[in-house]
Chain A
Amino acid sequence: MTLHGSETRPQDTPRPAGNGNGAAAELPADLQDERLIASHGIGGAVSAFTARLRSGDLGSVPVVVGLVIIWAVFQIANSSFLSSRNLVNLTLQTTSVGVIAIGIVLVLLLGEIDLSVGSVSGLSAAVLGVTFVNQDWPLALSLLAGVALGLVIGLFYGALYTRFGVPSFVITLAGLLGFLGLQLLVLGKEGSLNLPFDSALVGFATRSFLSPALAYGLVAVVVAVYVLTRLRGRGARVAAGLSAAPNSVIAVKAGALAVVLLVPVIILNGDRGVSSMFLLFLGLVVATDFAIRRTRWGRSVVAVGGNVEAARRAGINVRMIYLSVFAACSTFAAVGGLLAAARLVAVNQSSGGADTNLNAIAAAVIGGTSLFGGRGSAYSALLGALVIMSISNGLALLSLDSSVRYMVTAGVLLIAVTIDSLSRRSRQAHGRA
């Protein structure tokens, strides 16, 4: 490849700073265009952030604001809401819905939907109960059976979708009914099984908490890893002649991360501490986020969600992507079902029933993952699940029953979807859709 641009550059891009070539050589490759609005340091990072917000690229800002409002309202209504004890409960309640919501985020990224996650979670819990309690299987094998069941169901959905082009809405609606029926069949006549209280699974979900020292150590490790990866990334960008965030911005972000992690840990340590189960959920969120943003598979998922035809022509195996995402979603649903059963120490006919399904879907949407496909983050599962479960937890503290809870959750969901639609319109107007 030869460089033809060098002869034409001075005329092409008249720069105020005199000699075009000289100025171009000093600037990083990605900042040479004179139309770019210069932004430097922390002020630049802040102004770039606000500009992005204004153009409708809201990310997780609405849900964070919503969460703060919800927590403030409940704290005013009942001063024990933000107590260490209640917040530990909240983390335990959030986990299973949150894990299911991770799978929903993945299917929503493709612009598809899975309505059957509740039934699948209930079915996997039922399989766990029957094999572990009634059939005396080893715990690991029972858990594996539950997870494998989710995987198989997801592959089945994916095969139906890619082979016959049946809309995912209909496939999973059938799954919602069918697997609920299968769950009842598996549970048999009694319809209710209690898990042994002293089993490792129940212990993990209800009694396993990190020691304060371990929790603080983990925070330190996470912040250190963050700083190191950012510095390494910065080094690589500078070496490649690209612009890089200055150390001050990295320091501020690392500080913010430390505060965001430390404050909850301090509060949670006021009671039982950080639950192992919640830590598992956080780990799954971080791993999924990494898979979405930093792997070829994740890039392909987002591309398929944005424009299937373009993805296909770029040589992406679109079928494989659909298949893997449906499989991942049902697997997350199964894992969520197992965790819910472990926390409630029981499996019954209403496991995974009632509002599990819609809570998980609502959590993903409230968290900021677009229903229109191609836009979302694994963190929306965490934030959305926190919102949903905060509402349910707070209203329970106020001794309000399900009637109010359903209506409030519905209202929040409507607001979230409206924000999604409005920001989509704004993105289109600002050319960021």
Chain B
Amino acid sequence: MTVTPTPAPVGTSTVLALRGVSKRFGAVQALKNIELDVRAGEVLALVGDNGAGKSTLVKTIAGVYTADDGTMTFDGKDVRVGSPAEAQQLGIATVFQDLALCDNLDVVANLYLGRELRKGKVLDEVEMERSSWELLRQLSAKIPSVRIPVASLSGGQRQTVAIARSLLGQPKVVMLDEPTAALGVAQTAEVLNLVERLRERGLAVILISHNMADVMAVADRVAVLRLGRNNGVFTVSETKTQDIIAAITGATDNAVSERAARRTREEGTAS
């Protein structure tokens, strides 16, 4: 089955565009001719099965890997990203799955780690604490106190801190690598709210997730990767979950969609 990508809604500006990006690891073609457009003020979900190349693509955009081929356009200019620091300077922030927080430091110290505000040579704790609260309030983040060690926060709160930290550099694109993977129901909702708030701020959000419910709940568009290639871009409001799953797995007659179809039939007969 072939999937026809739905035309993108007009009127939003493209922040980040990839054209023909390829990446090889030895004999493995991890990415092949990837095309991707990310627009300001939208959440683009990046989905695909294990080994589809999601992480490779994210790391390529984040500057961890350099692409073998293809071009990347950021804000209308061709760019080459050689290191994570360069990506951050451009305005591409990434929150990796392990969050990279220092458990022994408090929230303020973690938010400003590596870019502490100073008065002369001395840390300006007061200003850091004040602007931490300002930032967390803007995100409506529920952190009880910024002076407790990060270790005492829940998984969702830690995710919030990591996302808030990525915003301190005033990025235009934020990539979230499976932000809800280890979270409970309420915390997942908290993080999804946060993702929506990033979109309200006009940021482009790239959301990597295996959870189709989350994707359908928060994403505007879904880009599907399959075996290192593009396998369609869908507008969420006009697409059924099954179509996306079909694009992920590469077929309609597979175990997942059969189960889903059977469930729907059973529910239909039961009611």
From B116, which residue of chain A is reached at the shortest CB distance? A296
CA distance A296 to B118 in the complex (A): 8
A294–B197 touching, CB < 8 Å: no
Q: Does B17 contact A (CB under 8 A)?
A: no
Q: Which of A89-97, A126-134, A237-245, A351-359 contacts B (4 or more CB under 8 A)?
A: A237-245
Nearest to A109 among chain B residues (CB) is: B104
A307 at the interface (CB under 8 A from B): yes
Interface residue stretch chosen among B47-55, B70-78, B130-138: B130-138
The reply to whether B121 and A295 contact each other, CB–CB distance below 8 Å, is yes
Distance between B111 CB and nearest chain A CB, rounded to angstroms: 10
A316 close to B129 (CB less than 8 A): no
Contacting residues, chain A, for B151 (C-beta < 8 A): 427-428, 431-433
In-complex Cβ contact of A33 among B101, B109, B116, B144 (8 A): B144
A424 to chain B, nearest CB (A): 11
Contact B113 A310 (CB under 8 A): yes
Whether the Cβ atoms of B142 and A33 lie closer than 8 Å is yes
Q: Which of B100, B109, B123, B126 contacts A240 (CB 8 A)?
A: B126
Across the interface, B122 reaches (CB within 8 A) one of A294, A375, A431, namely A294
Q: Are A432 and B152 in contact (CB under 8 A)?
A: yes
> A2-B201, A296-B116, A433-B151 in contact; A303/B145 too (CB < 8 A)?
no
Encoded as 1 (CB less than 8 Å from any A CB) or 0, chain B from 137 to 162 comes to: 11110111111110111000000000
B2 to chain A, nearest CB (A): 41
B115 interface contact, C-beta 8 A: yes
**B85 touches A (CB below 8 Å):** yes
**1/0 per position for B103-130, CB-CB distance to A under 8 A?**
1110001000111101001110011011
| Complex Cα gap A209–B59 (Å) | 63
Contacts of B118 in A (CB 8 A): 296
Indicate if A315 sits at the interface (CB-CB under 8 A).
Answer: yes
Do residues A9 and B104 form an inter-chain contact, with CB atoms below 8 A? no
Contacts of A189 in B (CB 8 A): none
CA distance A313 to B99 in the complex (A): 10
Given the known A-B contacts A295-B121, A295-B123, are A433 and B103 also in contact in the complex, defined by CB atoms under 8 Å? yes
Interface residue tally on A, bucketed by range: 35 or more
Q: How many Å lie between the Cα of A237 and that of B108 in the bound state?
A: 15
Query: Which B residues are CB-close (under 8 A) to A310?
Result: 100-102, 113
Q: Is B253 an interface residue (CB 8 A)?
A: no
The interface residues of chain A lying within 8 Å CB-to-CB of B258 are none
Q: Known: A8-B140, A30-B146, A242-B129. Is A374-B104 also a contact (CB below 8 A)?
A: yes
Query: Is B68 on the interface with A (CB-CB < 8 A)?
Result: no
Q: Is A59 an interface residue (CB 8 A)?
A: no
**Other-chain residue from A36, A237, A295, A427 in contact with B144 (beta carbon distance below 8 A):** A36
Q: Which of A273-295 contact B (CB under 8 A)?
A: 294-295
Q: What is the count of residue pairs linking A and B with beta-carbon distances less than 8 angstroms?
A: 121
From A242, A314, A430, B152 is in contact (CB under 8 Å) with A430
B84 on interface, CB distance cutoff 8 Å: yes
Residue of A nearest to B122 (CB): A294
Question: Within the assembled complex, what's the spacing in Å between the Cα atoms of A280 and B209?
Answer: 58
- Residue A411 CB within 8 A of the other chain: no
| B-chain residues with CB within 8 Å of residue A302 when the two chains form the complex | 102, 104-105, 109
Is A233 on the interface with B (CB-CB < 8 A)?
Answer: yes
Judge whether B144 and A374 touch: CB under 8 Å.
no
Contact of B149 among A5, A8, A432 (CB under 8 A): A432
Contacts A29-B133, A303-B113 given; indicate if A375 touches B101 (C-beta within 8 A).
Answer: no
Chain A nearest CB from B186 CB (Å) reads 14
Interface members, chain A 220-241 (any B CB < 8 Å): 233, 236-237, 240-241
**Size bracket, chain B contacts:** 35 or more
- Chain B residues closer than 8 Å to A315, beta-carbon distance: 85, 114-115
Residues of B208-265 whose CB lies within 8 A of A: none
In Å, the complex CA distance between A295 and B118 comes to 8
Please give me the residue from chain B that is nearest to A8 by CB atom: B140
Measured CB to CB, the closest approach of chain A to B194, in angstroms, equals 11
Most buried by B among A303, A375, A428: A303
In-complex Cβ contact of B114 among A5, A30, A242, A316 (8 A): A316
- Convert B30-50 into 0s and 1s, putting 1 for each residue whose CB lies closer than 8 angstroms to a CB of A: 000000000000000000000
Q: Mark A302-346, 1 if CB is under 8 A from B, else 0.
A: 110111011101111000000000000000000000000000000
A407 at the interface (CB under 8 A from B): no
Counting CB contacts under 8 A, is A3 at the interface? yes
Chain A residues in 8 Å Cβ range of B121:
295-296
Cα of A416 to Cα of B141 in the assembled complex, Å: 39
Tell me whether A1 is interfacial, beta carbon within 8 Å. yes
Q: Which B residues lie within 8 Å of A5 (CB)?
A: 137-140
User: Is A54's beta carbon under 8 Å from chain B?
Assistant: no
Query: Closest residue to B94 on the A side, CB-wise?
Result: A313
B200 (CB) vs chain A CBs: closest residue = A4
CA distance A313 to B87 in the complex (A): 12
Chain B residues positioned under 8 Å from A242 (CB to CB): 126, 129-130, 133
B149 touches A30 (CB 8 A): no
**Does B100 contact A296, Cβ atoms closer than 8 Å?**
no
In angstroms, Cα B137 to Cα A9, docked, is 9
Known pairs A5-B140, A240-B126, A296-B123; A30 contacts B147 (CB<8 A):
yes
Q: Assess whether A1 is in contact with B138, with CB atoms less than 8 Å apart.
A: yes
Q: List which A375-433 residues lie within 8 A (CB) of chain B.
A: 375, 427-428, 430-433
A35 with B144, Cβ < 8 A, contacts A303-B105, A306-B104, A375-B104 known: yes
A374 to B104 CA separation, bound complex (whole angstroms): 6
* Neighbour of A314 across the interface among B100, B146, B201, CB < 8 A: B100
> Which of A2, A241, A294, A307 sits near B130, CB closer than 8 Å?
A241
Which among A240, A295, A299, A309 is the interface contact of B113 at CB below 8 angstroms?
A299
Q: A4-B200, A233-B126, A306-B103 are in contact. Are A433 and B140 (CB under 8 A)?
A: no
Q: List 23 A-B contacts (CB under 8 A).
A: A1-B138, A5-B139, A29-B134, A30-B145, A33-B144, A35-B144, A36-B145, A294-B123, A295-B123, A296-B118, A299-B116, A302-B104, A305-B104, A306-B105, A309-B100, A311-B114, A313-B96, A315-B115, A316-B114, A427-B151, A432-B149, A433-B103, A433-B149
Q: Which B residues lie at the A interface, using CB under 8 A?
A: 84-85, 96, 98, 100-105, 109, 113-116, 118, 121-123, 126-127, 129-130, 133-134, 137-140, 142-149, 151-153, 197, 200-201
Residues of A within 8 A of B (CB): 1-5, 8-9, 12, 29-30, 33, 35-36, 233, 236-237, 240-242, 294-296, 299-300, 302-303, 305-307, 309-311, 313-316, 374-375, 427-428, 430-433
